[in-house]
């Protein structure tokens, strides 16, 4: 199994990393023992969130674009996965209990993607007629061929890269039910950060979205957004809040505590959660 940590880009160029990982809204890349090479693929859409009734089939297309000038050979397979408390993702080649990977059929296990020309990769999901209401999760893994690069001192280092495209399958009307059960300050990337504790008592994953208004100890007007990490069914997950200046949503700022935040966050189909919270060290 492989454990991946998330970041946020869609077009990848993995250089000078060992066990490097890239996430794009549900898309994961792992480069094993890479020292100096390029794995430049763009995937659209970055994840699939399917709603399928028992006994029905869903046909889907994954578009793969190679930004490199050279043709990239890939092998394709499915995998199970789990999400850790630190938002790391672990992929499993072996079939996990209650896995729905047998529902997924991929068009081929090997393919080549020419530079600059999108490849449309097809897969189907067939839900059994007796499937109970639930959310099933799997991943479609695309793996490059093993290559060898030169490290400092002329040492040959083998490496390969894998992309995991996350597939959520909501069966029989499965949906999330999110509630905020607490708030605290956690140290994230070495900085104190306001965090909401979010519980999901539903049968499918959910995400928070929207903007909150707030002020910090300097009386500066701020806008806060919640991290878009998935809260899986049956779990409670810490969701950090990021701050920006009003009118400048692209520049993150460090807040000075205490911090007061108000407003509403959205989740699911038109559902909202009111927030009125003070964070103090």
Band the pLDDT of 204: cuts 50, 70, 90. Answer: very high
Bigger pLDDT: 9 vs 197: 197
The model scores a pTM over 0.85: no
pLDDT band at 187 (very low <50, low <70, confident <90, very high): very high
- Any idea which architecture 2-171 has in CATH? Sandwich (2.60)
- Between CA 99 and CA 195 the distance in angstroms is 32
pLDDT at 14: 30
2-171 matches 178-279 in fold = yes
- Which pLDDT belongs to residue 70? 87
The pLDDT score that the predictor gives to residue 116 is 83
Q: Which of 52, 72, 51, 76 is nearest to 62 (CA)?
A: 76
> What average pLDDT does the segment 175-190 reach?
96
- Specify the length of the chain in residues: 281
Cα–Cα distance between 242 and 263 in angstroms, integer?
A: 14
Per-residue HEC secondary structure of 12-62 comes to CCCCCCCCEEEECCCEEEEEECCCCCCCCEEEECCCEEEEECCCCEEEEEE
pLDDT in tens, 153-174: 777 776 678 899 999 999 999 9
Q: For 6-63, what is each residue's pLDDT tens digit?
A: 322 233 333 222 222 333 345 555 555 443 345 688 999 989 999 999 999 999 999 9
Task: State the pLDDT at residue 16.
Answer: 25
- Residue 209 tokens, joined: 């979205």
Which pLDDT value is given to residue 80? Answer: 97
Domains of the chain, residue spans: 2-171, 178-279
Tokens of 86: 């630190």
- Output the average pLDDT for the chain: 85
Query: Does 178-279 carry CATH code 3.40.47.10?
Result: no
What distance in Å separates the CA atoms of residue 53 and residue 193, rounded to the nearest whole number?
41
- For residues 169-195, give the mean pLDDT: 96
Token pair, residue 228, equals 């878009």
Query: Higher-confidence residue: 21 or 249?
Result: 249
Instruction: Quote the strand ranges of 87-207, DSSP E.
Output: 89-92, 104-106, 110-113, 119-126, 134-144, 147-150, 156-171, 178-188, 191-200
pLDDT, residue 13, reads 30
Here the tokens at position 17 are 């990393």
Instruction: Please give the Cα distance from 229 to 209 (Å, whole number).
Output: 10
Between strands 57-66 and 41-44, the pairing is antiparallel
**Residue 103: C-alpha distances to residues 46, 52, 99, 138 (Å):** 20, 12, 9, 10
Give the residue with greater pLDDT, 157 vs 246. Answer: 246
Cβ atoms of residues 101 and 80 within 8 Å: yes
CA distance 272 to 18: 41
């Amino acid at each position: 199994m492989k454990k991946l940590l998330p970041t946020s880009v869609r077009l990848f160029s993995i250089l000078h990393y060992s066990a490097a990982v890239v996430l794009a809204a549900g898309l994961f890349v792992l480069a094993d023992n890479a020292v100096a090479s390029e794995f430049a693929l763009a995937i659209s859409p970055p994840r699939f969130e399917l709603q399928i009734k028992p006994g029905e089939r869903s046909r889907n297309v994954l578009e793969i674009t190679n930004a490199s000038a050279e043709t990239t050979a890939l092998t394709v397979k499915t995998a199970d996965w789990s999400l850790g408390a630190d938002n790391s993702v672990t992929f499993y080649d072996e079939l996990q209990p209650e896995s729905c990977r047998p529902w997924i059929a991929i068009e081929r296990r090997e393919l080549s993607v020419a530079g600059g020309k999108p490849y449309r990769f097809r897969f189907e999901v067939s839900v059994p007629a007796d499937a109970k209401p639930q959310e099933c999760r799997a991943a479609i893994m695309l793996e490059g061929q093993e290559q060898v690069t030169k490290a400092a001192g002329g040492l040959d280092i083998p490496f390969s890269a894998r992309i995991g495209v996350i597939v959520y399958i909501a069966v029989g009307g499965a949906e999330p039910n999110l509630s905020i059960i607490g708030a605290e300050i956690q140290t994230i990337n070495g900085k104190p950060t306001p965090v909401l504790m979010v519980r999901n008592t539903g049968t499918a994953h959910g995400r928070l979205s929207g903007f909150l208004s707030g002020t910090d100890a300097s009386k500066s007007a701020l806008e806060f957004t919640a991290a878009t990490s998935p809260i899986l069914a049956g779990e409670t997950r810490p969701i950090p809040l990021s701050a920006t200046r009003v009118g400048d949503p692209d520049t993150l700022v460090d807040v000075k505590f205490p911090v007061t935040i108000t407003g509403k966050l959205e989740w699911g189909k038109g559902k909202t959660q009111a927030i009125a919270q003070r964070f103090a060290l």
